[in-house]
Structure 1
Amino acid sequence: MKKNIAIIMGGYSSEVAISLKSGNVVYKHLDREKYEPYRIHILQEGWFLVDSEETRYPVNKHDFSVMYNDVKITFDCVFNAIHGAPGENGVILAYLDLLHIPHTSAPFYQMALTFNKRDTLSILKKYDIPSATSVYLNNGDTIHIENIIEKVGLPCFVKPNNAGSSFGISKVHTKEGLIPAIEKAYKEDSEILIESFLEGTEVSVGVLEFENETIVLPITEIVSENDFFDYEAKYEGKSQEITPARISSEEERKVSAISKKVYEVLNMSGFSRSEYILVNGIPHFLEMNTVPGLTEESILPQQAQQAGITLTRLFDNAISQAINKNS
């Protein structure tokens, strides 16, 4: 008997449009012989099952069910394709856990932790994972520009602490540019992170549970046409994403080892894609994405393809792992 799969997409952040694209790709590639997939839009204005005619059917939040064509639909598993809140920060996963509905992401605590950049960095520092020098600010804190620049130097990066897809991020080259960058970041989040610039090769590494073991996918080198790997570079073709990365075998070994260590230290499961800068051959951790882009053009699917894993097999594995953990 086919299993009903809810593919949740959308969300409450600036990443809604990107999430809808990812969710629709999952919907397209799920094996119809094994699964009956349903698109579930999680939006600020409500939660809805959306059919092929784009008709909306409201989700009953008491048990995460939907009345569709006069039949009550319940779900055997939820495929999480929400970038940002409430999918990537763990909120909706805690709700699903209360209802005992399996989902394809890590446990809600791990999702919440890794969505918080500063908390993730704080933990990884205890395990001697290299990262940039950083300063943390909360909205309302007094801003001491000279002290910040003295610590992180110029250029530096200003980032929202809880946001993705490079929304709200600025690369700051001058003292005068720091306040506007901080104001921009605060539009996305009340907590921000200011980091030193790391000169080196940027790489992106997919790590996931696949067929009951943790695997590191082929590494992608990021070459941005812009000043950094911003929204345009990620989603509008302003970058080269080269898989496998043009790095030495020793650098590849180091990046793979540290990526697997980070995944395991953070007690992750499901998908992850982490970014590193190689500085003099040493990988420096930037951040982890636990609901990475899942379109055909996205980095993690590119890496899976390089490893000989089709999207159908990749998504099937995520669902099988989730259901087996809860059986």
Structure 2
Amino acid sequence: MSAEIRVAVIGGGRSDEHDVSLSSAASAVRALRGTGRHEVVPLTVRRDGTWTDTQGLPMDAAEAVTVLRGCEVALPLMHGPHGEDGTLAGFLELAGVQYVGSGVGAGAIAMDKWVTKLVAEALGIATAPGTLVTERTAAGYRWTEPVVVKPVTAGSSIGASMVGRPEELGPALRKALGHGGRTLVERVVSGREVDVAVLGRPDGSHLVAPPLEIVSTGFFDYATKYGDQAPFRIPAPLDDVQHKALTIAATEMYDALQCRGVARVDFFVTAAGVVLNEVNTTPGLTESSQVPRMFASDGIAYPDLLSILIDDALLQPATTSA
């Protein structure tokens, strides 16, 4: 390993989370350049799937692989489909490039909210009662109670709606189905929204940051998530029983999905216990995002968190090209 670790930071992508991904990548580039330990190679994937180099010039896939192979490790920060869902991990593995974060299987399963529910329920972790609705079955679905309607494979609350009246159901389903053709309709859970960040280490241990509570009286939609004043409370005020239950459930999901690097596991804390909402294998990674703020509250500054992720990725077994 050279004195400076050559890191490719990949942002952008073809998903609706393109702009969020650009923000994560830009923030990581600034922080890594300030450590004195990293030579940073920023790469961007445009909305049309075209790769661009450090000067913003377009590259084809073969040229991108050449640049990536010239780096010791990649930090992929493409949120949502065509990135976080295992697509980019698969590309990097075929290219023989070491990378930070979860592999193909973990990314694909966690991005699919319906499959994630099935995994959680197999582990005995509660989830909100829900129904999978497709374009074929949507016309026959009937409103009976307040529900949350959300795409199965989208993040950042894109395409999601809170439905409190029967007449709102049809538009909500059409909106969600526009993001992948499948939607999850879940009963509204009455509880506090609490997120847990889990960082798995190469020796199999976990660093679990102090949980974060989303303090919101309304639906935590895209605009609220990425506004100037995100309503977070860190650490979340929890009793010992709640804290233990969240930690156990988060690490069990992390391990069952075979996550690597850092993942954010989102829950509702209810009177009956903890209820899993979803798992994010490539969570927002600007300095003001939830995961960095959780670790910062425990004394791990943002640049140090990025350094840990990169150092740990380099300790993983080498990725071989096809």
Residue number among 276, 282, 285 corresponding to 1:291 in the alignment: 282
Q: Superposed, which structure 2 residues align to 1:53-72 within 5 Å? A: 55-62=55-62, 64-65=64-65
RMSD after superposition: 1.9
2:57 aligned partner, one-letter code? Y
Aligned mates of 2:138, 2:202 — CA distance in 1:
50
**Residues 141-177 of structure 1: per-residue CA shift (max 9 Å, x gap):** 253233x53xxxx211000000010000000001111
- What is the TM-score when the length of structure 1 is the normalising length? 0.90
Tell me whether 1:15 sits opposite 2:7 in the alignment. no
Unaligned runs of at least 5 residues, structure 1: none
Per-residue deviation, 1:35: 1.7
Letter paired with 1:61: A
Kindly tell me: are residues 66 and 313 of structure 1, through their superposed partners in 2, closer, same or farther at Cα, counting changes over 3 Å? Answer: same
Matched, 1:217 2:209: yes
Moved more, 204-213 or 112-121: 204-213
The residue matched to 2:213 in structure 1 has which SS?
Answer: strand
Query: Identity percentage over the alignment?
Result: 27
1:239 shift after superposition: 4.4
Q: Where do residues 1-327 of structure 1 align in structure 2 (5 Å cutoff)? A: 1=2, 2-30=4-32, 32-45=35-48, 46-50=50-54, 55-62=55-62, 64-65=64-65, 74-146=70-142, 149=144, 154-210=145-201, 212=203, 213-225=205-217, 227-237=218-228, 239-327=230-318
Counterpart-to-counterpart distance in 1, 2:228 and 2:271: 28
1:63 and 1:99 in contact (8 A); partners too: no
CA contact (8 A) 1:136 1:194 kept: yes
Report SS of the residue matched to 2:236: coil
Post-superposition offset of 1:62:
2.2
- CA deviations on 1:187-225 (whole Å, 9 max, x unpaired) are 222110000011011101111124742121100011124
Instruction: State the distance in 2 between where 1:316 and 1:305 align.
Output: 14
Contact (CA 8 Å) 2:264, 2:279: kept in 1 or not? yes
Structure 2 length as normaliser, TM-score? 0.92
Q: Secondary structure at the match of 1:62?
A: helix
| Preserved CA contact (<8 Å) 2:198 2:251 | yes
Q: Distance in 1 between matches of 2:174 and 2:281?
A: 26
Runs of 4+ in 1 over 4 A off after TM superposition: none
Q: Which has the higher contact order (CA 8 A, sep 6+)?
A: 2
